[in-house]
Chain A
Amino acid sequence: GESVGLHLPTLSVQEGDNSIINCAYSNSASDYFIWYKQESGKGPQFIIDIRSNMDKRQGQRVTVLLNKTVKHLSLQIAATQPGDSAVYFCAEYNNDMRFGAGTRLTVKP
């Protein structure tokens, strides 16, 4: 079956650097994508979303890029801070929301 997946299970960055977390999806019918952040002991928290009629959306310090040609989604975090350390999930929607395996982001001081 089709699934959402992440390229890297872990990512370590220096505080202040930019982070890029990637996600590949295989269901071309998916029309809505979300990035979630999950900290230890908490449920996933919404970061940013994008619909399939867009290729870029910016939030506060975060940008999501969608490349439908290669079915690729990425999350860019500017000036990464220690508080950004968490597991990040991408999710795609096609009748229901399916999640990738997650990438653990560690920010080194």
Chain B
Amino acid sequence: KAGVTQTPRYLIKTRGQQVTLSCSPISGHRSVSWYQQTPGQGLQFLFEYFSETQRNKGNFPGRFSGRQFSNSRSEMNVSTLELGDSALYLCASSAWTGVTGANVLTFGAGSRLTVL
């Protein structure tokens, strides 16, 4: 079955602009998580959505937001872009249902954002 699909793969923005990234999870997965990856850093947790509700949020400013649609597809938005927002943004989905314990995250290839 198809994996996690992220679009766009690459994009360039300038400071002050806003950006929206899209993620289509594996079919049947209702949990979607977003991570920011920068050079020299590990993956930093942004937020997780389950059944259209934000379940968890990492330590990022309010400029970073997200949402999940009824078909489990998710988007994240970054407003008022800063140079430091240049990163690889990774989306992952899992079969977590809220009833059982944690499940494996399956990652997409990421959206590489460059802010000039």
Report A's interface with B, CB cutoff 8 A.
4, 31-32, 34, 36, 41-46, 49, 51, 89, 91, 93, 95-102
Q: Is the CB of A93 within 8 A of B102?
A: yes
Report B's interface with A, CB cutoff 8 A.
4, 33, 35, 40-43, 45, 48, 55-56, 58, 90, 92, 101-102, 104-110
Question: Per DSSP, are chain A's interface residues mostly helix, strand or loop, or mixed?
Answer: strand
- Between-chain CB contacts (< 8 Å), 14 pairs: A4-B42, A31-B101, A32-B102, A43-B90, A43-B92, A43-B107, A43-B108, A46-B105, A46-B106, A91-B105, A95-B56, A97-B102, A101-B41, A101-B42
* A34 to chain B: closest residue by CB: B104
Count: A-B pairs, CB below 8 Å: 54
* B106 to chain A: closest residue by CB: A46
Give every chain A residue within 8 A of B42 (Cβ-Cβ). Answer: 4, 89, 99-102
CB within 8 Å for A96 and B48 given contacts A51-B101, A89-B43 = yes
Q: Is the CB of A44 within 8 A of B102?
A: no
CB within 8 Å for A96 and B45 given contacts A32-B102, A43-B90 = yes
